[in-house]
Amino acid sequence: MNNSDPGKAGSFSRRSFLKSIGTTAVATAAAQTQSIAAELEKANAETTIGPGAVPVTLQVNGEALKLQLEPRVTLLDALRNYSSLTGSKEGCDRGTCGACTVMIDDTPVYSCMKLAIEAQGHAITTVEGLAKDGKLTKVQQAFMERDALMCGYCTPGFVMSVSALLKKNFRPTADEVRHACVGNICRCGTYPRIMEAALQAAGVATAMNKTEVITYG
């Protein structure tokens, strides 16, 4: 070994060093190429859906709803125009009014902002699915008793938002009700009565019912 040669350090020559860099660079590039190829192969293997109608099965109100839908069809459109479930209303069709609110796995969701194909495999509840055997839920009953609507167009959305809240929070405060309904707009301005109805449904005392806590069976 000749350590006086500036091209050599120990057993590592400049040539072998450069060669090793080249080898490492080539190996890295090869690994990256393989990884990109694998990603491309995966992407190519994914099935393209549409643009024509495809079979879509939605679990709505406990029943399977089998439809043929183009992938672009929203859940709201599927409910209202491809089945007879017109309870969810179309106010804005752009995620601002809340009239189209449904529950997906007990979470309130704007159905106009969700593609029907994306909602497959989840439990969807619409306003039609709340009452059982003709018996209104506490929320529906309270909306009726408090006269919490004028034109009624926003009402299904509010009922769904309040129902979703009460599933998770049995005794909400007024602030919590307001927060739950922050995505719902009532153009008729029925907010005070909607608030009263929501709190009545929760059995929370309000100014309207003085000190009495209303409970409903």
**How far is the C-alpha of 128 from the C-alpha of 103, rounded, in Å?**
11
Of the candidate spans 48-56, 121-129, 143-151, 163-171, the one that interacts with ligand FES by CB under 6 A turns out to be 143-151
All residues at 6 or more sequence positions from 11 whose CB lies less than 8 Å from its CB, including other chains: 1
| Residue 151 touches ligand FES, criterion: CB under 6 A | yes
Of the candidate spans 20-28, 86-94, 159-167, 208-216, the one that interacts with ligand FES by CB under 6 A turns out to be 86-94
| Sole binder of ligand FES in the list 5, 38, 187, 192 (CB under 6 A) | 187
Q: Tell me how far, at minimum, the Cβ of 26 lies from ligand FES, in Å.
A: 55
| Sole binder of ligand FES in the list 69, 75, 78, 149 (CB under 6 A) | 149
| Residue 22 touches ligand FES, criterion: CB under 6 A | no
CB 100 within 8 A of CB 90: yes
Sequential DSSP letters for 29-43: HHHHHHHHHHHHHHH
Count of residues that bind ligand FES according to CB under 6 A: 22
Of the candidate spans 27-35, 62-70, 85-93, 167-175, the one that interacts with ligand FES by CB under 6 A turns out to be 85-93
Nearest to 108 by CA among 176, 195, 180: 180
- Structure-token pair, residue 32: 């990256």
- Count CA within 13 A, CB hemisphere, residue 131: 11
- Which residues lie near ligand FES (CB under 6 A)? 90-93, 95-100, 110, 112, 149-154, 186-188, 190
